Structure 1
Amino acid sequence: MRNGHRISAIVTCAGRGTRFGSNKLLVTLGGITVLEKTVRAMCAPDVDEVIVTVSADHEDEYRRILVDGAHLPVTLVVGGEERHISAHRGLSATSGDIVVVHDGVRPFVTPDLIDAVIDAAIEHGAAMLGTPSTVQVKLVNDKGFIEGSLDRAHSWLGQTPQAFRREYLEQAYDAALRDGYARISDDADLVHEYCGLPARILPGHVNNIKITTPQDLGTARLIEEGRADQDA
């Protein structure tokens, strides 16, 4: 519970990792898998329940890691082809009035970041983390030509966790499923598009990276080494 609200978390781990070339959730950092590291981080003090969406192909293996091996208090739910379909199935297994959604390949999230986004969702209905962009982001059409640039002063790079009042997330997921939504986006985009509710963005952390490519894994290992040195 936090500020009188029951908090549910959905960790999305049903992806295929095609850009990475292998299952990045099973890569180890500090002696444990990215999967376990991320899910363990989301089992934060103020989170009442954690749902992990998984692919059918990996359900047994992930259960061995998270439940049988690490003894984490989590529920596994088989996801779908699209991220929002997986998260929708995860949502059906939750009971909280505030729902936090987090990428399974962001293993360095901290309790402070989780609490901050929960508090903002309680106040504003929808919230997410991000970092101000330090590069100019170009808008490119399907033919590979630049159509414009985003104002860097108003451009942020999105992160998870993202958090929402349950009713907004349910409305957005239901509408997206009816529409056959297939664009690459995140839950904050869905809630904005289908509920008309913009998310409050809060400063995340440079270490809260998403491991998408082998280069990201190298960065993650440097972060892990730095954290280990601080704890020594």
Structure 2
Amino acid sequence: MERGTPGASRPAEPGPCLSNLRGAEPAASASRLSADRAQPGNPTIAVAAVLPAGGCGERMGVPTPKQFCPILERPLISYTLQALERVYWIKDIVVAVTRENMGTMRNVIQKYQHKRISLVEAGETRHRSIFNGLKALAKDQPDSQLSKPEVVIIHDAVRPFVEEDVLLKVVIAAKEHGAAGAIRPLVSTVISASADGCLEHSLERARHRASEMPQAFLFDVIYEAYRQCSDYDLEFGTECLHLALKYSHMKAKLVEGSPDLWKVTYKRDLYAAESIIKERISHEICVLMNPKDDIEPIDHLLKALKNELNDVKIESGALSQVGRDIQQSKLEKCYNFVCMNIMTSDFQETRNLLSTLEESSLSILYPVVVVSVHFFDFELVPLSQKMESLVWVRDTAKEMKKRNILLHGLIIEYSQGEKFQESLRQGAIIIAALIKERSSGLVGQLLVA
């Protein structure tokens, strides 16, 4: 078993976090979990997580194990690790991975700066992998960096969208009942077929549920259950809650899960997961401008953008303030920047923004989109005279792409009347498409509205 190297500060997972849900019910449960750290003598629940990640992904139909399949050029398992490690009260995350993929997993931890991750060798089956993870946590040795938790979460490496409130609910339920698991309503009716392939009987769908992940257990309950498991259970079993019932006589508390708990199983699921991630990181746009520039065309473009992206938060400000916010992680959930340039092609504002982004860790986990917008009056300055300097977008974009920053150029004809309004509308459509699609194929393109 080996411990991952802690990383630097990184952007948090987009979406709700319990620390931000003031007054919400999960926050009250969080206080129960932490038992008010500020008061000495109040115990905390030691929580760890085990992720079996030794599967080969046969149903995916691709040579790469599905936990390492890329989504926006980042392995799927990295998103799951991020969802867990952003939960401050999960002390340790143990990942069971095959020997041949151990090096790949180390590279994922290092590249994406994951923290609190320990690796163990996976077993030949899912249950054997989980058992290996539990064994690592059970070794409460003086020289070990891991200690036995009170509650352990078991989660799939290919369920990347688990939220903190669901994790918290199963942990609290496991603390009270010994075992707990997330469930969801059945989508299809479950039937039983006879030996000759005919319908034998069907289950009443309203009375049954689909067992999902995460699941949580008092550590001693699930560890003892695995120690008593038969070889048949370890070889062919899939349900951890059943093992707790069979060997520890612990009836699990069932917790209603969210629709996002689905498991990436088939190749089409990768596209669905990518779509969800793109949608999550497109909810906020930061518009940068020079305070000395003419504000009128910028205001017009902002209005057009808000009409095009009516569910997106759009904030504007000077580069100096935005730069400070990036460095201080105040913009940790903003991965979209629109840099305004009025009647100029010197790109100074865009250059400064790119330098700031390079110095930050913002683009480690997600691709950052930068759209450099230039307003030109083609009657005063022919576009052909500006093309030489605008080639800078293409050349710079190649370097920025290596840093996961997607740079695009956009020219809007700055004129009067209906023609200008149409250019603004087209410009807003282009910006929205670049942000939503995050297409690396359009990096370095100079688009004209």
**Cα distance in 2 for residues equivalent to 1:231 and 1:208:** 24
Rounded to whole Å, the distance in 2 between the matches of 1:5 and 1:142 is 50
Q: Secondary structure at the match of 1:35?
A: helix
1:25-70 Cα offsets, whole Å, 9 max, x none, are 1222344211111112111211011101101110011111114542
CA distance in 2, matches of 1:191, 1:231: 44
Indicate how the Cα distance of structure 1 residues 62 and 181 shifts in structure 2: closer, same or farther if over 3 A, else same: closer
1:41 aligns with 2:83: yes
| Correspondent of 1:92 among 135, 138, 141 | 135
Separation of aligned partners in 2, 1:206 and 1:168: 28
Measured in 1, the distance between the counterparts of 2:277 and 2:184 equals: 20
Give distance in 2, aligned partners of 1:64 and 1:167: 32
Secondary structure in structure 2 of the residue aligned to 1:10: strand
Deviations 1:197-218 (A, max 9, x none): 2211111111221011112222
Instruction: Report the secondary structure of 2:153's partner residue.
Output: strand
TM-score (norm 1): 0.91
3-state DSSP class of the match of 1:210? coil
Query: How many equivalent pairs are there?
Result: 232
- C-alpha deviation, 1:180, in angstroms: 5.3
Contact 1:27 1:33 in 2 (8 A): yes
Cα distance in 2 between the residues matched to 1:189 and 1:57: 31
Structure 1 unpaired stretches of 5+: none
1:212 counterpart = 2:265 = yes
Instruction: State whether structure 2 residue 70 is matched by structure 1 residue 28.
Output: yes
* Candidates 186, 190, 194, aligned match of 2:239: 186
Could you say if the C-alpha distance between residues 54 and 2 of structure 1 is closer, same or farther in structure 2, counting changes exceeding 3 Å?
Answer: farther
1:52 aligns with 2:99: no
Classify 1:143/1:61 alpha carbon distance in 2 versus 1 (closer, same or farther; 3 Å): farther
- Pair 32,143 (structure 1): closer, same or farther in 2 beyond 3 Å: farther
CA displacement at 1:196 relative to structure 2: 2.2
Which residue of the partner structure matches residue 19 of structure 1?
Answer: 59
Change over 3 Å in CA distance of 1:145–1:191 after alignment to 2: farther
List alignment gaps of at least 5 residues for structure 2.
Answer: 1-32, 36-43, 138-147, 286-449
| Paired letter, 1:51 | V
Question: Does the CA-based 8 Å contact 1:7-1:48 persist in structure 2?
Answer: yes
TM-score, scaled to structure 2: 0.49
Question: In the alignment, which residue of structure 2 is the partner of 1:134?
Answer: 187
SS of alignment partner, residue 72 of structure 1: coil
Tell me the SS of whatever aligns to 2:45.
coil
Deviations 1:55-111 (A, max 9, x none): 111001111111454242210000101111111110111210101000000011111
The structure with the larger Rg is: 2
Q: Percent identity?
A: 28
CA distance in 1: counterparts of 2:225 and 2:92, whole angstroms: 22
- Alignment partners' CA distance in 1, 2:68 and 2:79: 10
CA distance in structure 2 between the aligned counterparts of 1:231 and 1:47, rounded to whole angstroms: 28
